[in-house]
Amino acid sequence: MNETLPTAPSADSSPASGRIAFLGCGSMNEAILAGLLAAGTPAANMTATVRRTERAGELRGRYPGLTVLAENEDPEANSKAVAGASVAVLGVKPAGITALCRSIAPALEAQTVVVSVAAAVTIAAMEAALPAGQPLVRTMPNTPLQVGRGAVGLSGGSHVSEVQLKEASAVFAGAGTVVMVPEEQLDAVGAVSGSGPAYAFYLAEAMAAAGVELGLEPAVAMTLARETVAGAGLMLAVEGADPAALRKAVTSPNGTTERAIAAFDAAGLPAIIAAGARAAKERAAELSRELG
Ligand SMILES: NC(=O)C1=CN([C@@H]2O[C@H](COP(=O)(O)OP(=O)(O)OC[C@H]3O[C@@H](n4cnc5c(N)ncnc54)[C@H](OP(=O)(O)O)[C@@H]3O)[C@@H](O)[C@H]2O)C=CC1
Ligand SMILES: O=C(O)[C@@H]1CCC=N1
């Protein structure tokens, strides 16, 4: 946990310092914010913005001490949130990212590091919408940051220093593993770890459905599937864990698991997973083209 691979800027796992603005605090930015809070960053060091009062109320209730600004109450919410921030994390949908960059540009301070978590929006597109020379970092995080087990790919923009990369990395490093990759690989990161939690949840859903088909009560099947995927995840979370070795330990020669894995192989499950990941990566490329 909290490991940062050697290729990434060596942010340690101490809480991020300086004020952090989360612009667009939905599923992803809330997961990052919750991970930071759990790692010890005070709520008072963070500001979140959203579009709607209702969502703002939810966040205010869940995170006492967090400043939450809603754009429908204050059209300057995003500009106010970035003023004086050391890092601004852009967490709106991809289609809204460059407009958000343009809208905050006049309020951004030159040293504020802009961090995007959006799929498909390129560094070039964001830099064109930000003030010249603004430090920018593009990332592909995932929601398990919320429970301290995130996996994050990170690429620096044209004007970002080592220290600023480290500052951006620190937003995630307290709640997950950060790897530095060339920007061209971020779509692949998204296909493996960005979307990956959904693949694991999908597996749990399919296992529960299989249990019902085999005669279990739906609630019982769901409990068994959920706890099994969660428990297996915890075993994988041990440092140095090898999924193939863990699988082997469950698979008795000529036993039931061996028969199940043979059925998965015969149905082409590895190729099916590869096709899903490829589709995710292709969608990211398509989105990049759509968004210019
Ligand atoms: N979800 C995930 O697992 C991952 C998501 N991402 C990326 O994260 C980004 C956000 O995705 P996700 O969190 O799922 O989406 P959500 O829809 O959950 O969150 C988007 C948030 O942005 C807010 N918002 C929209 N426009 C504005 C604005 N102009 N000013 C302030 N707030 C605004 C919305 O407010 P309101 O709620 O009030 O409408 C909402 O809270 C995307 O770019 C996605 O590619 C990356 C990796 C994983
Ligand atoms: O589905 C999406 O587009 C985003 C990016 C990765 C996970 N969620």
- Ligand 1 pocket, residue 144 CB under 6 Å: no
- Ligand 1, atom 39, lies closest to the CA of 51
What is the CA(92)–ligand 2 centre distance, in A?
Answer: 12
What is the CA(157)–ligand 2 centre distance, in A?
Answer: 21
What is the CA(115)–ligand 1 centre distance, in A?
Answer: 14
Q: What pLDDT does 6 receive?
A: 39
- Ligand 2 pocket, residue 119 CB under 6 Å: yes
101 labeled binding residue: no
Q: What pLDDT does 11 receive?
A: 52
What is the CA(249)–ligand 1 centre distance, in A?
Answer: 40
Which ligand has the shortest distance to the CA of 98?
A: 1
Q: What pLDDT does 14 receive?
A: 44
- Ligand 2 pocket, residue 195 CB under 6 Å: yes
140 labeled binding residue: no
Q: Which CATH architecture best describes the domain 196-285? A: Orthogonal Bundle (1.10)
| Reported confidence tier of residue 292, pLDDT bands at 50, 70, 90 | confident
- Ligand 1 pocket, residue 91 CB under 6 Å: yes
Class of domain 20-181: alpha beta
- What's the rounded mean pLDDT across residues 60-70? 97
DSSP string, the chain: ---B-TTS----SSPPPS-EEEES-SHHHHHHHHHHHHTT--GGGEEEEES-HHHHHHHHHHSTT-EEEETTT-TTHHHHHHTT-SEEEE-S-GGGHHHHHHHHGGG--TTPEEEE--SS--HHHHHHHS-TT--EEEEE--GGGGGT-EEEEEEE-TT--HHHHHHHHHHHHTTEEEEE--GGGHHHHIIIIISHHHHHHHHHHHHHHHHHHTT--HHHHHHHHHHHHHHHHHHHTSTT--HHHHHHHH--TTSHHHHHHHHHHHTTHHHHHHHHHHHHHHHHHHHHHHH-
Is 0.90 exceeded by the ipTM?
yes
Q: What pLDDT does 4 receive?
A: 46
126 labeled binding residue: no
- What's the rounded mean pLDDT across residues 260-276? 98
- Ligand 2, atom 5, lies closest to the CA of 119
Q: pTM of the prediction?
A: 0.95
At 15-61, the pLDDT tens digits run 456 899 999 999 999 999 999 999 999 999 999 999 999 999 999 99
Domain parsing of the chain, residue ranges: 20-181, 196-285
Number of other CB atoms surrounding residue 33 within 10 Å: 28
- Ligand 1, atom 22, lies closest to the CA of 24
| Reported confidence tier of residue 8, pLDDT bands at 50, 70, 90 | low
Per-chain mean pLDDT for the chain: 94
26 labeled binding residue: yes
At 208-221, the pLDDT tens digits run 999 999 999 999 99
Number of other CB atoms surrounding residue 156 within 10 Å: 21
What is the CA(48)–ligand 2 centre distance, in A?
Answer: 20
